[in-house]
Structure 1
């Protein structure tokens, strides 16, 4: 078969894959400068909010949205474009210094900035299971100036979010706006994860069983664990199902991710041995290696940044801070504060040698030879891998 001599079309350049779906509605005389933060009588001084990030879970959400939408609908009707803002899923209003504005109703291109679990080439389809975190949301093809005011209302599932920055200083931070929009999107889309962590009973049972919203299982798999905990069911069945999904290919994908980190790469021989033992079903060897190496990996990462080592407590603080800095916000799908609790109460849990309470999930019990032999299971070995993998995203 010979190759065609016809010229090949040029590949599309970056940015050519997306465009706005329509044009904005042009509005005038938009009197949007703030939202009253408290009740007052005529002539009294009140506090005014000029910047808000709210969801339908917030008490004042509906009152504020109804007030803002009434003004926008009125100005739209005056401009000859009567609209109902209860129908669009994405509303963006950009108000210029002269009080004119551009109203985009499900028409502006939307981009999210996401931390992904695996390497991605341009044009690759991304699934929910590929996303480790969402850190920003933006409108790449909408012109927004430093002196503009911005209002955005959008829907995700059965919840809504409101962002507004009325920019009283005339110095709009686009970066902060995109970060906060990303936070709102994350809170709406993954609300069930946040609820699970906030529920002391559910989260306590997850930790007791050794589970956490690890990045690698942060989708349908973690949701199944949560639903079983909420229902009070035993986890044996769902754990066995989850364990079966971690075949050689999936574990090797995690390993490749680790080797991109200098403080992991130095442990390649040890971690490779752990992976081989996991594949052969030797949970004892996996746990003996991984649990004793986690602290060393954290210490290497800390030393690379600070030029010196540190004790365990400081290393755990360092892991949390690294995750927050990486995401740009503590309220992230990496759940750094909750993970610190998980590490302290599970991975580095203390034990009573006299009462022989040590389990193979605890680095201290394993390191001192005090873990119950029956607790060395493949599920515990998988949890150790997932803990290590979580740290790869943090540091």
Structure 2
């Protein structure tokens, strides 16, 4: 059997009997009572309602199959896609159709080249390009990411493919980048992170940030993790970041200064790196604002501009760059209010006014300044 013929066999869906489902009860009810019915749902197994809804959906699919093990097969699949047509006939795909993820990447890649988790800057959408879905069809998608599951359901006979693909992309982001969204949803934890100078920066938003997040409540362990994180930024990695920055005019105008700061970091000179680079953050934002708006702006307005620009580009505020949260990080950490009596942090104003103490100039802080510039390169 040829490869193409085998693919055709593998991708044949499971045909189910007449699947009759109009919605999901949001609560218990009695005959004659008014109740709320869910016709669209998107959630993960982190939510307690997920398990009840997902179990009910799987039961409905299993009841319409002669395969007694279908329920277990659906639960164990990496991707399960059910399409219920207008005549109530249904097709079920269990890991046997193409799944395409749209993502933004950090570096140049060639067609056919392998991509890794650290190459992805954001996950935008997930689609099934070989499955035809009409506007009147009902759609159920159940998928897993390691030990967690996600469910998308549209039973309203008003299917919108764009809604499905973006919803699935959002669900995968939440599950794959658990620590980043855990910080987002916990203000107290986020304050601790900001005070230490960290953020779920895109460049470290995989294993490195997970290690920082896991060590937040252990000062000794956190010191070790921070040291290993700094050591992970080799010359090739930092130079790749610089190349990414220089693709944008707001960074390219400052190439000579940025290169001096990067070289200082690679040489292990925290003072020179911070002194050179931290004041360039506002300059980059200012140039980007002038390019877009034709005029300059104050610091707070520059930060708000970067945030709104990132949200507009992504079409959402909960992408991996976390624009609203990064705005808060910039204002509370990088651009914290200047105190003439001094501060213990090497921030934009304390550095430029000479009030940051010598012990604030650490390699950890130098890396955070580099990562802040890098994050901005994804926003503007």
Superposed CA RMSD in Å reads 2.0
**Residues 177, 205 of structure 2: 8 Å contact kept:** no
The aligned runs of 1:182-201 (5 Å cut-off) are 182-201=169-188
**Counterpart in 1 of 2:55?**
66
CA contact (8 A) 2:336 2:348 kept: yes
The answer to whether the Cα contact below 8 Å between 1:19 and 1:109 also exists between their aligned partners in 2 is no
Separation (CA, whole Å) in 2 of partners of 1:28 and 1:131 = 41
* Residues 1:242 and 2:229 aligned together: yes
Quick one: which of 54, 76, 89 aligns to 1:100?
89
Q: What TM-score results when the alignment is normalised by the length of structure 2?
A: 0.92
Aligned residue pairs total 372
Does 1:291 pair with 2:272? no
Equivalence for 1:320:
307
Task: Give the deviation of 1:57 after TM superposition.
Answer: 1.9
Q: CA deviation at 1:33?
A: 2.2
2:28 is the counterpart of 1:42: no
Q: Is the 8 A contact 2:179 2:213 kept in 1?
A: no
Cα displacement string for residues 321-365 of structure 1 (whole angstroms, at most 9, x for unaligned residues): 2222333222222122221121111101124212x22522x1011
- In structure 2, which of residues 19, 42, 54 is the aligned counterpart of residue 53 of structure 1? 42
User: What is the 5 A alignment of 1:244-283?
Assistant: 244-283=231-270
Q: Report the equivalent of 1:116.
A: 105
**Residue number in structure 2 paired with 1:11:** none
1: CA distance between counterparts of 2:264 and 2:176?
Answer: 37
User: What is aligned with 1:127?
Assistant: 116
- Distance between the aligned counterparts of 1:199 and 1:230, measured in 2? 14
Q: Which digits, 9 at most, give the CA deviation of each residue in 1:246-267, with x for residues without a partner?
A: 2221111001000111211111
* 1:294 Cα deviation after fit: 0.9
Does the CA-based 8 Å contact 2:80-2:141 persist in structure 1? Answer: yes
2: CA distance between counterparts of 1:281 and 1:105? 52
Residues 251-303 of structure 1, C-alpha deviation per residue, up to 9 Å, x if partnerless? 11001000111211111121112122222333223222221111121122222
8 Å CA contact 1:21, 1:109 repeated in 2: no
CA contact (8 A) 1:135 1:328 kept: no
Specify which of 165, 169, 189 is matched with residue 178 of structure 1: 165
Within 5 Å, which residues of 2 pair with 1:347-386?
347-354=334-341, 356-357=342-343, 359-360=345-346, 362-386=347-371
Per-residue CA deviations over 1:81-106 (Å, capped at 9, x if unaligned) read 86123332321001122211211112
Residue aligning to 1:13: none
Corresponding residue of 1:87 = 76
The residue matched to 1:86 in structure 2 has which SS?
Answer: helix
SS at match of 1:235: helix
Using the TM superposition, give the Cα deviation of residue 152 of structure 1 relative to its aligned residue in structure 2, in angstroms. 0.5
In structure 2, relative to structure 1, the CA distance for the partners of 1:44 and 1:366 (3 Å cut) is same
- Kept in 1, the 8 Å contact 2:277–2:370? The answer is yes
Bigger helix share: 2
**Structure 1 alignment gaps of length 5 or more:** 1-17
For structure 2, the residue ranges without an aligned partner over 5 or more in a row are 1-6
- CA deviation string 1:79-137 (max 9, x = no partner): x6861233323210011222112111121221111111111111111111111211111
